[in-house]
Amino acid sequence: SQKIEQNSEALNIQEGKTATLTCNYTNYSPAYLQWYRQDPGRGPVFLLLIRENEKEKRKERLKVTFDTTLKQSLFHITASQPADSATYLCALMNYGGSQGNLIFGKGTKLSVKP
């Protein structure tokens, strides 16, 4: 069966450390994968997109990797800050799928402690 899994429901780290969030998928052939941030009671906000032929993308303190052999994307936040505390969602688009077929993971709730 097809699955997209974000391995940790919650991740607690100390301020200044690097947070690493995982998104694994099964039985999909993603054209690309997206990461969103969601604050409590708010809609998700787009952060980064990585295509299947790209290994890594960066934006300021954020880095996303995509390994189609491992069927995994990693999302890193370096020098984490308490303001980075939020839920992070991954979403993938299958090859040949319409935008209506964007598949979301359940999210990982990140807490950064001072």
Partner 1 sequence: DGGITQSPKYLFRKEGQNVTLSCEQNLNHDAMYWYRQDPGQGLRLIYYSQIVNDFQKGDIAEGYSVSREKKESFPLTVTSAQKNPTAFYLCASTPRGDRGSGANVLTFGAGSRLTVL
| Closest distance to partner 1 from the beta carbon of 55 (Å) | 17
Closest CA to 90 of 10, 28, 33, 31: 33
Provide the token pair at 83.
């303001």
At residue 99, φ and ψ (nearest 5 deg) are -60, -25
Q: Which is nearer to partner 1, 13 or 49 (CB)?
A: 49
Residues that bind partner 1 in the complex, under the rule CB under 8 A: 4, 9, 31-32, 34, 36, 41-46, 49, 51, 89, 91, 93, 95-107
Q: How far is the CB of 18 from partner 1 (least distance, A)?
A: 25
Of 49, 52, 20, 19, nearest to 36 by C-alpha is 49
Minimum CB–partner distance for residue 50 and partner 1 (Å): 10
